[in-house]
């Protein structure tokens, strides 16, 4: 249990750091990995028309989205 608790605390600390980072930097300037552009290009190739500025959970659950 102590190891699990220590891991959870460390994970929470890392999550806070990353949240603060992505919240304080304008997204177009934020690079988290060396392959960010490749990841984004593949995402856009797969989800051409998905609007990421406004996500509607009901739209994502629709038959067309599935």
Q: Find how far residue 27's CA is from the centre of its chain.
A: 11
- Domain extent listing, the chain: 1-61
User: How far is it, in rounded angstroms, from Cα 31 to Cα 25?
Assistant: 10
Q: Is the dihedral of CA 54, 28, 35, 17 positive or negative?
A: negative
DSSP 46: H
DSSP 52: S
User: How far is it, in rounded angstroms, from Cα 22 to Cα 52?
Assistant: 16
User: How far is it, in rounded angstroms, from Cα 47 to Cα 23?
Assistant: 24
User: Looking at per-residue confidence, does 10 or 66 come out higher?
Assistant: 10
Tens-digit pLDDT profile for residues 23-49: 998 888 888 889 999 999 999 999 888
pLDDT score, position 56: 85
pLDDT above 80: residue 66: no
Q: Global pTM?
A: 0.49
């Amino acid at each position: 249990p102590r190891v699990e608790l220590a891991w959870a605390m460390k994970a929470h600390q890392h999550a806070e750091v990353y949240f603060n980072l992505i919240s304080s930097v304008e997204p177009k300037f934020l690079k988290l990995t060396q392959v960010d552009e490749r990841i984004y290009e593949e995402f856009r190739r797969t989800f051409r028309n998905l609007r990421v500025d406004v996500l509607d959970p009901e739209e994502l659950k629709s038959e067309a989205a599935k």
